[in-house]
Amino acid sequence: MKIKDIEVGNLFLAPMAGVSDVGFRKVCKMLGADLTYVEMINVNALLHENEHTKKLLETAVNENIKVVQIFGHDPEVMAKAVASPLLEKFDIIDINFGCPAPKIVKNGDGSALLKHLDKIAQICKSCTDATSKPITAKIRIGFDANENNAIEVAKVCEQNGISAITVHGRTRAQMYSGTVDYETIKKVKQAVKIPVIGNGDVVDEKSLKNMLDTGVDGVMIGRGALGRPWIFSELRGKSVNNKFDIIKCHVDTLRKYYSDDELCVTLRKHFLWYINGIPMAAKYRLLLATTNNLDESLDILKKVYQGEQD
């Protein structure tokens, strides 16, 4: 598939706040993700050149196609963000119209915009006018069950210069519960000419097939990759044996940008995801949740993955 003039594969890592850090993206790319998105960036923080935001914008050496996702609701501010020197290195800029988080929606951002097609049109046009780079968008199928307007939103995005659209097959009201609406994703694909990427509950080969059967051009994986960056290899039929080495690469990459004290807090959720489903997980979960030493955490994970359990 092509996003404007950029040729890409069809398996993408979703931009997940607090998850899609530069280390995690690096290992997902190593393991077969075709595109890896920097987690969603607040345009106001970007324009103020916030130091934390600058760190979030770090990219891995193997991210040959660099993609960042931004969020906001003011068309002029969004356009200024697109033109920011901080985004100069990115090849594709994605706009978030789908985040369901209460604090995002309360501020009129993310999926709150699904109720305002005129504002979506203004944001898309202002952003696409501000750069020659491909601008893409991520949406949900509607704000709630009474407002399934994904087809209308997708058409508005296409008419205002958007080069590709990702559709999460749930409403904002559903958050992450209930089942993915494959039929709506299929209808969106049929309604527009730009590439459509399907998103929602892709965790194995069966769910991948269900998503591809909608006719989408690509598939975005979010929660299915938590603690499983190797899902991209597995979906391509490849086994992964060196899982601890992958985890260590994730950590070592982040150590270039953050102190161990910072990482003990931010990586804890990743470490807990990494041991989901393993034998005696409860024992190791307690150890990982209570240690404040990064090397101790790595030693615990090494025992788990290299079969050195007591």
* Residues belonging to the active site: 99
b/e 62-84 (16+ beta carbons within 10 angstroms → b): ebebbbbbbbbbbbebbbbbbeb
Structure tokens at 268: 């804890």
d(CA 25, CA 31): 10
**What contacts 305, CB < 8 A, 6 or more positions away?**
243, 244, 247
- Ramachandran bin of 42, using left for φ above 0, alpha for ψ from -120 to 50, beta for the remaining angles: beta
Strand 218-221 vs strand 11-13: parallel, antiparallel, or unpaired?
parallel
3-state secondary structure 42-95: EHHHHHCCCHHHHHHCCCCCCCCCEEEEEECCCHHHHHHHHCCHHHCCCCEEEE
d(CA 292, CA 265): 8
Angle at the Cα of 64 from the Cα atoms of 207 and 68, rounded to 5 degrees: 70
Which residues share a beta bridge with 175? none
CB 142 within 8 A of CB 181: no
CB 112 within 8 A of CB 104: yes
- Rounded to the nearest 5°, which phi and psi values hold at 87? -100, 5
Structure tokens at 206: 């069966």
Strand 6-7 vs strand 2-3: parallel, antiparallel, or unpaired?
antiparallel
